[in-house]
Amino acid sequence: MSDTPSPKFLGQNSPLPSSPEEAALDYVPNPREGSLYLVRFAAPEFTSLCPVTGQPDFAHLVIDYAPEKTIVESKSLKLFLGSFRNHCGFHEDVTVGIGQRLVEEMQPRWLRIGGYWYPRGGIPIDVFWQSGTPPEGLWVPDQGVQSYRGRG
Amino acid sequence: MSDTPSPKFLGQNSPLPSSPEEAALDYVPNPREGSLYLVRFAAPEFTSLCPVTGQPDFAHLVIDYAPEKTIVESKSLKLFLGSFRNHCGFHEDVTVGIGQRLVEEMQPRWLRIGGYWYPRGGIPIDVFWQSGTPPEGLWVPDQGVQSYRGRG
Amino acid sequence: MSDTPSPKFLGQNSPLPSSPEEAALDYVPNPREGSLYLVRFAAPEFTSLCPVTGQPDFAHLVIDYAPEKTIVESKSLKLFLGSFRNHCGFHEDVTVGIGQRLVEEMQPRWLRIGGYWYPRGGIPIDVFWQSGTPPEGLWVPDQGVQSYRGRG
Amino acid sequence: MSDTPSPKFLGQNSPLPSSPEEAALDYVPNPREGSLYLVRFAAPEFTSLCPVTGQPDFAHLVIDYAPEKTIVESKSLKLFLGSFRNHCGFHEDVTVGIGQRLVEEMQPRWLRIGGYWYPRGGIPIDVFWQSGTPPEGLWVPDQGVQSYRGRG
Amino acid sequence: MSDTPSPKFLGQNSPLPSSPEEAALDYVPNPREGSLYLVRFAAPEFTSLCPVTGQPDFAHLVIDYAPEKTIVESKSLKLFLGSFRNHCGFHEDVTVGIGQRLVEEMQPRWLRIGGYWYPRGGIPIDVFWQSGTPPEGLWVPDQGVQSYRGRG
Amino acid sequence: MSDTPSPKFLGQNSPLPSSPEEAALDYVPNPREGSLYLVRFAAPEFTSLCPVTGQPDFAHLVIDYAPEKTIVESKSLKLFLGSFRNHCGFHEDVTVGIGQRLVEEMQPRWLRIGGYWYPRGGIPIDVFWQSGTPPEGLWVPDQGVQSYRGRG
Amino acid sequence: MSDTPSPKFLGQNSPLPSSPEEAALDYVPNPREGSLYLVRFAAPEFTSLCPVTGQPDFAHLVIDYAPEKTIVESKSLKLFLGSFRNHCGFHEDVTVGIGQRLVEEMQPRWLRIGGYWYPRGGIPIDVFWQSGTPPEGLWVPDQGVQSYRGRG
Amino acid sequence: MSDTPSPKFLGQNSPLPSSPEEAALDYVPNPREGSLYLVRFAAPEFTSLCPVTGQPDFAHLVIDYAPEKTIVESKSLKLFLGSFRNHCGFHEDVTVGIGQRLVEEMQPRWLRIGGYWYPRGGIPIDVFWQSGTPPEGLWVPDQGVQSYRGRG
Amino acid sequence: MSDTPSPKFLGQNSPLPSSPEEAALDYVPNPREGSLYLVRFAAPEFTSLCPVTGQPDFAHLVIDYAPEKTIVESKSLKLFLGSFRNHCGFHEDVTVGIGQRLVEEMQPRWLRIGGYWYPRGGIPIDVFWQSGTPPEGLWVPDQGVQSYRGRG
Amino acid sequence: MSDTPSPKFLGQNSPLPSSPEEAALDYVPNPREGSLYLVRFAAPEFTSLCPVTGQPDFAHLVIDYAPEKTIVESKSLKLFLGSFRNHCGFHEDVTVGIGQRLVEEMQPRWLRIGGYWYPRGGIPIDVFWQSGTPPEGLWVPDQGVQSYRGRG
Ligand SMILES: [Ca+2]
Ligand SMILES: [Ca+2]
Ligand SMILES: [Ca+2]
Ligand SMILES: [Ca+2]
Ligand SMILES: [Ca+2]
Ligand SMILES: [Ca+2]
Ligand SMILES: [Ca+2]
Ligand SMILES: [Ca+2]
Ligand SMILES: [Ca+2]
Ligand SMILES: [Ca+2]
Ligand SMILES: [Ca+2]
Ligand SMILES: [Ca+2]
Ligand SMILES: [Ca+2]
Ligand SMILES: [Ca+2]
Ligand SMILES: [Ca+2]
Ligand SMILES: [Ca+2]
């Protein structure tokens, strides 16, 4: 198997970046380059701020991607997602924006993000974006996040 | 077994009462008077109005009682619950109030009501009231309404 | 262990009795007489008729009992429950009545019945009756029938 | 990312419109115009009236759409759905009608609505409509609303 | 939206038909004629008789269809399904037969029926029939009825 | 509808066959011949023996098929499955073998079998076989047997 | 029923307080004073900071209390919980501290708080505190938050 | 901690005993003698024969006990349970009999057995026995086996 | 609230101790000393070795305790549990031993441990120990770990 | 059916190999060669080490394959998976590497592996790889492993 890379954050203490702009994602060599496979991250600990009311919003995010040259190191992803803590944005904008930044920087074969937001006014919003039709031969299971049901 | 009573609403068309005050509950003879048993109604179709904002509120209600002389006919209960459609009240007030009206009118051996309200501001309220400690020897299973969990 | 009894219905073809009155329950010797234990039957295939509208009603029944001298043979129980197919009765009356007939005929140490009826007017009724407080030392797990939740 | 729009209702107090005709939906610029993505709203707090009996009906609605120029602001959607409170309509008509109004006004790339109605006569109705086959490359997860199961 | 039709059974008391042959289904104008959509009925309260042993059988039925000129009024469907109470038929025959009768009389664009029968001899039978491949562009979610699992 | 056939085992007492070779399956006329539909059997009560260690193995089997001229009578299927009680075979061999015997004898349009075996060494094996690609227009829902999860 | 109080935050826009010390909880008159009942809040949107690493922590909180003279208005509770966003504290300290502040200020008959924290190092911590044994006659259902299970 | 005992069956190949009488249970020293604790075995792979019809029966068994001098080695328990494969017995008799044999031979402080049998005639039987009221201070969680629900 | 202690492991890199004897647990001052509350750890990532066969065993552990002077820092607990990776022990011994070591070192008011082990020979073992009857007034919810069910 | 092969490990005691390199997988003749079918292994007991921190990692693995000439004997698979206990590797590398080794050695028609890893930093990683598009006519159900959800 491949050599061990030296991640920038994993195994060290790293402060939370103060905004998405200041957060640096760490991309390490794909240990199985040339293989078509999928990596899925589930991030149930996400929060940002509403641009109209300033109130906190919460989401459960799931990110799927098929790596090309690099994979994203998961501690840097955690710090990047944490950097939205004081960021203002609409659900649609934040969710699609996270997916598009990863695509631009990592240049994966393919990427998909699902944002499952907590209800406001009794109505939750989910946002689903992908960089295109999944590549032929890639196995992409359902994200399987449970639908919102209210009470009862 | 007992004779068949003649309910006031069951088997007939009845308009929705315009307020709880105008709704008449129908109490019929307890067909098993002298037996200590529990009747449970689950009413997932309940709505009233917020007294501060005027916006609709929704709840899933569960009512348990041990009958004495009468039982409440379920169609009249349905119409009574439907009569809250244009009624303004806080969650705590509406839930406990429904339980106390049934107790006052029906004089059961014992009664319990659980109100499981839909979230507002991301936080649902549940209200639990009973007329006293359950009578010795009465079997009262948990209401078993699933806890609210947000997303993920 | 005990000798094998000769049940009246098990292992033979038996027509459905036309009413509860015509149904005969078969009680066989308790193979563990003197032991305090619980027998639970779950009967999700139960139907009777509404005494007011004549429409079919459906229920899921669960019966728990602690045997004394005899146990009830399960095929005869099935035929007895099936005999309610053309019987008219209120939910409260039918449920408690089934429990009380078993108590009168079998004379168990203790018996409990839960009747979980399908919704009418959007509101299901559950009925819970027991012959008394469970005997000291008897193990009686929850019946664990899922609460009704409407949709969503 | 995009500038913050000024919604008509979000962050303000707004009375419930008295009918769907009087409700105004608020469409704001799509913050990710040009990206093919899906927005899902789950609305478990929906009620209207039966046109034959006048009795209240309840539904859990789920709306999926792929935006074009605009997105629908969620507080205005909440008010629009609340405006059906005194509206009479068949399940099929109300569900498809909500979807078609959104399509006509918002002109999204694509839209789908699922209406999961509470049981009447022991039988719930679900209604599923979409504006056409989903666009190539759009990711549309199952709505995943649990099937109705009666009791037991 | 469309005018309100006058159903034959809804809002009135109607006796249970004594056989499927005597049951009349009520078809009312499709309020959204020209729209391709799906209607789903879940009917967990179904019972018929075994043609060999005469014993009661129970099933949970789910019917999906895409209307053409008419929709089937749900109370008449309830009465039709109730009319199988004294009808003898094999699981396969009854399930497919209900689907085919609806197709012949209603002439929908498409129809599917799933019959989920209670276990006999420890083995349940499910029957799945459809009138053909679903029409292009129709959205047909899974029926999502839970698989039988025995105990444990 | 069709005439009632005379099954060989249903409605009679039948001893358990001592091996799969001695078990006779009973095929009765397809009551809906000419219709393309699916029959599903769930058989959670299956046991055979390990050919290496002689220890009992257990499985939950699900069989799906589209009938042609005949259907398999379910009591004969139960007896056939019971006849594996003293049969030695690997999981792969037993599962596929059951499917292939049914195909050879019944000549259905199509057949699929899923064998969900209990864990050995902490690892369960599932086996999935089908006679070919499902026929065009046949509706084949997922078998939906829950994945094994260990503990926690 | 009681008069409508004038809450300080409900129905108005209110900025998030910058710390728990700056947050003011709003206590309004108990609309059912004299009745012994329970109010439950579920707050799945809670976040604070780790006092050692400065990293964000997340929790799902459930608060149960039996009111005396006042009830806590839920929007003020939401703002109070939101004020922990930049607060540093151990799981045990934050959870018990929230409960004790509510007890000190509101003087309820009884209060209980459950804090269900997201895993760190693969191990979640739950914290359970109550102000004493629940009062005789108060009905306190289980909080029913699902146990953490890792994967599989 | 304690020395390692030498079990009779664990780590060796052992044929299945031909009857419960021939099965020998292996009791090894309690490694935590003097501590009051509970051991739970879940045995979902159990089968015996019906004494009336000779047909196979299946059960999911759960055994709880508080050890005194010895604990039962789990491979010997597996072989003992497997020895019922050709044993005829009623559900009540087999379940209670297994519990009583373990009590007689092992002399634990306390023991409980739950037998969850697969349905016959559409009705499953559960049997619950314990050797007495649980000892003061012993922690005995619910066995938590899901209730039988038929279909739907 | 209390001052922040300086944990020995949290916020630093720490190698896995090679055995339970070498692992040092870190006890920090109870930030809410004097309050009677419960701390629950769920540890689904536990593995040790079988003392007879040398094969790996896996368990899901849940530890509940009521602190006195100190609380156990969770990273040190994680390292302690990880130190069992090469330790040989029976399920009963390991589970109770972990509980007793924590009691001896930490001297809590009370402690309980549940060990939910993965199946061997098709039968999982659960072990439940507590240091005594829970203190009066302490709130101890069920651990709620799902029962083992085999397949189907 | 086929002759019984003589596996290298099944029915014997075998020590755990010290590394994946030293583990030998045992391939036995495919008992149903020529049939296109799928074998699924679920392995919830998997652990390896993090190459950066040296800390233990845990995963639930599911392997699906369509055999050609041989099948992999499950006890040898268990030993192979157990040999990763002291192996260091990234989640992506370990998961894809296990799949690729099986493909190279066994030369199946097709293979897929899903690795569902326990969370680190609150974020679990899932890895999905397959050797190519599934062969035409092979039935491959979803692996159905539940999505990670955090708490609540
Ligand atoms: Ca809300
Ligand atoms: Ca959550
Ligand atoms: Ca209804
Ligand atoms: Ca319980
Ligand atoms: Ca609901
Ligand atoms: Ca049912
Ligand atoms: Ca059965
Ligand atoms: Ca699906
Ligand atoms: Ca095992
Ligand atoms: Ca409880
Ligand atoms: Ca697990
Ligand atoms: Ca096993
Ligand atoms: Ca409980
Ligand atoms: Ca099972
Ligand atoms: Ca973690
Ligand atoms: Ca699927």
F104 is in an annotated binding site: no
Residue H135 at interface with chain C, using a CB cutoff of 8 Å: no
Structure confidence at residue E3 as a pLDDT band (50, 70, 90): low
CB-based contact B118 A116, cutoff 8 Å:
no
How far is the centre of ligand 11, averaged over its atoms, from the C-alpha of F59 (Å)? Answer: 21
I39-49 in b/e burial notation, b at 16+ Cβ within 10 A? bbbbbbbbbbb
- Per-position pLDDT tens, chain A of length 152: 445 778 888 888 889 999 999 999 999 999 999 999 999 999 999 999 999 999 999 999 999 999 999 999 999 999 999 999 999 999 999 999 999 999 999 999 999 999 999 999 999 999 999 999 999 999 999 999 999 999 98
Q: What pLDDT is stored for residue A5 in this prediction?
A: 72
Q: What pLDDT is stored for residue J105 in this prediction?
A: 98
Judged by its nearest atom, the ligand closest to the C-alpha of residue G142 is: 10
Task: Tell me: pLDDT of G73 over 80.
Answer: yes
Average pLDDT over residues C112-131: 97
CB-based contact E93 F2, cutoff 8 Å:
yes
Query: E54 contacts in F (CB within 8 Å)?
Result: none
Q: What pLDDT is stored for residue I5 in this prediction?
A: 73
- Chain pair B-E, CB pairs under 8 angstroms: 4
Q: What pLDDT is stored for residue J1 in this prediction?
A: 43
Mean pLDDT for all residues in chain E = 95
Q: Residues A57-101: pLDDT tens digits?
A: 999 999 999 999 999 999 999 999 999 999 999 999 999 999 999
Helix (H, G, I), strand (E, B) or coil at F94: helix
Judged by its nearest atom, the ligand closest to the C-alpha of residue H124 is: 7
Residue J41 vs residues D130, I44, J6: alpha-carbon distances, Å: 39, 21, 21
Structure confidence at residue B14 as a pLDDT band (50, 70, 90): confident
Q: Residues D65-115: pLDDT tens digits?
A: 999 999 999 999 999 999 999 999 999 999 999 999 999 999 999 999 999
CB-based contact A151 B122, cutoff 8 Å:
no
Find how far residue A6's CA is from the centre of its chain. Answer: 22
How close is the nearest chain A Cα to the Cα of B47, in Å?
A: 13
Mean pLDDT for all residues in chain I = 95
Taking alpha carbons only, the member of E132, E120, E123, E58 closest to residue E95 is E58
Q: Residues G19-43: pLDDT tens digits?
A: 999 999 999 999 999 999 999 999 9
Q: Identify whether the C-beta of residue F112 lies closer than 8 Å to the C-beta of residue F99.
A: yes
Q: What pLDDT is stored for residue C3 in this prediction?
A: 60
Considering only CB atoms, J56 lies closest to which of I45, I54, I55, namely: I45
Q: Which residues have a Cβ under 8 Å from the Cβ of C52 and sit 6 or more positions away?
A: B4, B7, B10, B11
The mean-pLDDT minimum among B82-86, E5-9, F40-44 falls in E5-9
Average pLDDT over residues E64-90: 97
Task: Mark whether C64 is an active-site residue.
Answer: no
Q: What pLDDT is stored for residue F71 in this prediction?
A: 98
Residue J58 at interface with chain G, using a CB cutoff of 8 Å: yes
Structure confidence at residue E11 as a pLDDT band (50, 70, 90): confident
Structure confidence at residue F3 as a pLDDT band (50, 70, 90): low
Q: What pLDDT is stored for residue B10 in this prediction?
A: 82
Average pLDDT over residues I104-121: 98
How close is the nearest chain E Cα to the Cα of D90, in Å?
A: 8
Considering only CB atoms, J16 lies closest to which of I45, I54, I85, namely: I54
Q: Identify whether the C-beta of residue E138 lies closer than 8 Å to the C-beta of residue D133.
A: no
Q: What pLDDT is stored for residue G7 in this prediction?
A: 84
Task: Tell me: pLDDT of J71 over 50.
Answer: yes
CB-based contact E92 F31, cutoff 8 Å:
yes
Task: Tell me: pLDDT of B3 over 70.
Answer: no
CB-based contact J148 A42, cutoff 8 Å:
yes
Q: What is the CATH number of domain H27-130?
A: 3.30.1130.10
Beta bridge partners, J120, equal J123
Residue F146 vs residues F103, G108, I150: alpha-carbon distances, Å: 26, 45, 10
Copy the structure tokens of residue C47.
């139907």
Q: Residues G103-142: pLDDT tens digits?
A: 999 999 999 999 999 999 999 999 999 999 999 999 999 9
Beta bridge partners, J148, equal none
How far is the centre of ligand 2, averaged over its atoms, from the C-alpha of F23 (Å)? Answer: 53
Copy the structure tokens of residue G85.
């966003």
Q: What pLDDT is stored for residue A3 in this prediction?
A: 59
Structure confidence at residue G72 as a pLDDT band (50, 70, 90): very high
Q: Which residue would you say has higher pLDDT here, I40 or C5?
A: I40
Q: What is the DSSP letter of C32?
A: T
Query: B152 contacts in J (CB within 8 Å)?
Result: 149-150, 152
A60 is in an annotated binding site: no
Query: J114 contacts in A (CB within 8 Å)?
Result: 141
Average pLDDT over residues I130-147: 97
Residue B15 at interface with chain E, using a CB cutoff of 8 Å: no
Residue B102 at interface with chain C, using a CB cutoff of 8 Å: no
Taking alpha carbons only, the member of C103, C113, C111, C101 closest to residue C62 is C113
Find how far residue A135's CA is from the centre of its chain. Answer: 19
Structure confidence at residue D3 as a pLDDT band (50, 70, 90): low
Q: What is the CATH number of domain I34-130?
A: 3.30.1130.10
How close is the nearest chain H Cα to the Cα of C53, in Å?
A: 26
Helix ranges restricted to H, E12-126: 74-82, 91-106
Rounded Cα gap, residues D79 and D17, in angstroms: 7
Rounded Cα gap, residues F149 and E116, in angstroms: 26
Query: H148 contacts in E (CB within 8 Å)?
Result: 151
Considering only CB atoms, D125 lies closest to which of E2, E11, E41, namely: E41
Highest mean pLDDT among C1-5, C51-55, G5-9, J115-119: J115-119
Residue F128: closest CA among chain J residues belongs to which residue?
J38
Residue J141 at interface with chain F, using a CB cutoff of 8 Å: yes
CATH class of B33-130: alpha beta
Task: Tell me: pLDDT of F100 over 70.
Answer: yes
Task: Mark whether C88 is an active-site residue.
Answer: no
Q: Which residues have a Cβ under 8 Å from the Cβ of H115 and sit 6 or more positions away?
A: H59, H60, H61, H91, H94, H95, H98, H126, H127, H128
Q: In this structure, which amino acid lies at residue C141?
A: P
Q: What pLDDT is stored for residue A134 in this prediction?
A: 98
Q: Residues G88-97: pLDDT tens digits?
A: 999 999 999 9
Average pLDDT over residues C87-99: 98
Copy the structure tokens of residue G69.
């003279």
Structure confidence at residue F137 as a pLDDT band (50, 70, 90): very high
Q: What is the DSSP letter of I101?
A: H
Mean pLDDT for all residues in chain B = 95
Residue H11 at interface with chain J, using a CB cutoff of 8 Å: yes
CB-based contact I32 G88, cutoff 8 Å:
no
Average pLDDT over residues H104-130: 98
Hunting for tokens 């003293």 — which residue is that?
F86
Q: What pLDDT is stored for residue D1 in this prediction?
A: 43
How far is the centre of ligand 5, averaged over its atoms, from the C-alpha of C149 (Å)? Answer: 6
Q: What pLDDT is stored for residue A67 in this prediction?
A: 98
For every residue of A84-131, DSSP letters joined together read GGG-B--HHHHHHHHHHHHHHHH--SEEEEEEEEPPBTTB-EEEEEES
Q: What pLDDT is stored for residue F14 in this prediction?
A: 87
Q: What pLDDT is stored for residue E6 in this prediction?
A: 79
How far is the centre of ligand 3, averaged over its atoms, from the C-alpha of J57 (Å)? Answer: 50
Q: What pLDDT is stored for residue B79 in this prediction?
A: 97
Q: In this structure, which amino acid lies at residue D77?
A: L
Residue E62: closest CA among chain H residues belongs to which residue?
H152
Rounded Cα gap, residues H11 and E95, in angstroms: 53
Task: Tell me: pLDDT of G83 over 60.
Answer: yes
Chains A and J touch (3+ CB pairs under 8 A): yes
Average pLDDT over residues B90-111: 98
Q: Residues I33-89: pLDDT tens digits?
A: 999 999 999 999 999 999 999 999 999 999 999 999 999 999 999 999 999 999 999
Considering only CB atoms, D151 lies closest to which of C124, C151, C152, namely: C124
Judged by its nearest atom, the ligand closest to the C-alpha of residue G152 is: 11
Helix ranges restricted to H, chain F: 74-82, 91-106
B7-33 in b/e burial notation, b at 16+ Cβ within 10 A? bbbbeeebebbeebeebebbbbebbbe
ipTM associated with this complex: 0.95
Chains B and I touch (3+ CB pairs under 8 A): no
C72 is in an annotated binding site: yes
Query: I39 contacts in G (CB within 8 Å)?
Result: 92, 125-127
How far is the centre of ligand 4, averaged over its atoms, from the C-alpha of C104 (Å)? Answer: 29
Q: Identify whether the C-beta of residue J75 lies closer than 8 Å to the C-beta of residue J7.
A: yes
Q: What pLDDT is stored for residue G8 in this prediction?
A: 87
How close is the nearest chain G Cα to the Cα of B76, in Å?
A: 22
How far is the centre of ligand 8, averaged over its atoms, from the C-alpha of D139 (Å)? Answer: 14
Which of A40, A47, A61 has the highest number of chain G CBs within 10 A, making it the mutation to test binding with G? A47
Task: Tell me: pLDDT of B2 over 60.
Answer: no
Query: B145 contacts in C (CB within 8 Å)?
Result: 147, 149
Rounded Cα gap, residues H27 and H23, in angstroms: 13
Residue A143 at interface with chain D, using a CB cutoff of 8 Å: yes
Structure confidence at residue F1 as a pLDDT band (50, 70, 90): very low
Which of A146, A147, A148, A149 has the highest number of chain C CBs within 10 A, making it the mutation to test binding with C? A149
Rounded Cα gap, residues B128 and B9, in angstroms: 29
Task: Tell me: pLDDT of H1 over 80.
Answer: no
Taking alpha carbons only, the member of C143, C123, C42, C43 closest to residue C83 is C43
Query: D152 contacts in H (CB within 8 Å)?
Result: 149-150, 152
Q: Identify whether the C-beta of residue E65 lies closer than 8 Å to the C-beta of residue E110.
A: yes
CB-based contact F127 J37, cutoff 8 Å:
yes
Task: Tell me: pLDDT of I103 over 60.
Answer: yes
Query: I45 contacts in J (CB within 8 Å)?
Result: 47, 56, 58, 118
Q: What pLDDT is stored for residue C128 in this prediction?
A: 98
Residues annotated within a binding site of G for substrate: 72-74, 91-92
Residue B34 at interface with chain E, using a CB cutoff of 8 Å: no
Q: What pLDDT is stored for residue E8 in this prediction?
A: 87
Task: Tell me: pLDDT of B1 over 60.
Answer: no
Highest mean pLDDT among D1-10, E6-15, H64-73: H64-73
Mean pLDDT for all residues in chain J = 95
Q: What is the CATH number of domain F20-130?
A: 3.30.1130.10
Judged by its nearest atom, the ligand closest to the C-alpha of residue B144 is: 10
